Structure 1
């Protein structure tokens, strides 16, 4: 621990002496990944971590409106493909506002649970399934409709039932009840 403190002080000293616009960022030893400017802690559940990401405020609001908070705080394990705010902004105008209306709760639940697979599938597990399936693996979502997973070079991609393709931009964000993979597109369960 003494060496870790010395290393941290050395990095901060180097930042100041280099004269650049370097910001020192302290993070608990437990946190392994930064998402949306927030440290993600493997000891916290999916919801406890997601609420801190500034890139997932729309997703968190939708999870709350769909009454899925308790489910995503439960033991799981779950694999969540978490679209960033920019992905929701790419949907046709009015889509989010419409989905958040109380009368559309079931539709919102269907969209959100389409981003969840039961089990803890790390990126390596998904890539192994793709390789074993000779190029495209399918995963049944909690919503009931399958997602297709494939590789595009070194990038892990997902295709929904509507033909939309999402890229995993940050993989393997470990949670106490599963794993999150950050994606750049909202997945839709129907055409």
Structure 2
């Protein structure tokens, strides 16, 4: 049983917005048309790249992903950051890989009590919301297959 308590009444989308570090992620969720899903019942575990993580993307990559004709690619990329269920970092750290909503597995590593998913380190863990949990990460993970 997880020791994570959930007294946050905001859903994942609103929790991310209230946090202030996930503005770009929130925009991406809206552009992808995923707001309703992530406001839904869930629960979901979201590895949300911080704004600083999005800034590390190659120049023009984000603008390109935000174009309507690339919506499918954006959805795939965002779904690569979502896992079904409410999982704390302690839970995730026990895994070798996370089965993401986009169907692709993301490798998990645990080193010096720090959890990484596909090379992105969790920088803020266990941000509870009413329908899941957010873990802030320092890199935008790109799935190998769209």
The verdict on a shared fold, with TM-score over 0.5 as the criterion, is yes
Question: 1:128: how far off?
Answer: 2.9
Counterpart among 103, 106, 116 of residue 72 in structure 2: 106
Distance 2:25 2:94 in 1: 28
Instruction: Quote the residue 1:175 is aligned against.
Output: 129
Secondary structure, in 3 states, of the residue corresponding to 1:70?
helix
Give the greater-gyration-radius structure (CA): 1
Runs of 4+ in structure 1 off by over 2 angstroms are none
Secondary structure, in 3 states, of the residue corresponding to 2:72?
helix
Instruction: Quote the residue 2:35 is aligned against.
Output: 69
2:144 is the alignment partner of 1:190: yes
Instruction: Quote the residue 1:24 is aligned against.
Output: none
TM-score relative to the length of structure 2: 0.91
Question: 1:51: how far off?
Answer: 1.6
* Runs of 5+ consecutive residues of structure 1 not aligned to the other structure: 1-31, 33-40, 130-136, 160-164
TM-score relative to the length of structure 1: 0.70
Question: 1:179: how far off?
Answer: 0.6
Mean CA deviation greater in 51-60 or 73-82: 51-60
Secondary structure, in 3 states, of the residue corresponding to 1:55?
coil
Distance 2:20 2:128 in 1: 18
Larger relative CO (CA 8 A, sep 6+): 1 or 2?
Answer: 2
Secondary structure, in 3 states, of the residue corresponding to 1:172?
strand
Instruction: Quote the residue 1:127 is aligned against.
Output: 93
User: C-alpha offsets along residues 43-84 of structure 1, whole Å, 9 cap, x if unaligned?
Assistant: 111011112232111111110000000000000010000000
Distance 1:82 1:146 in 2: 16
Question: 1:86: how far off?
Answer: 0.9
2:99 is the alignment partner of 1:140: yes
- Residue-pair matches, total: 141
CA RMSD of aligned residues (A): 1.7
Instruction: Quote the residue 1:150 is aligned against.
Output: 109
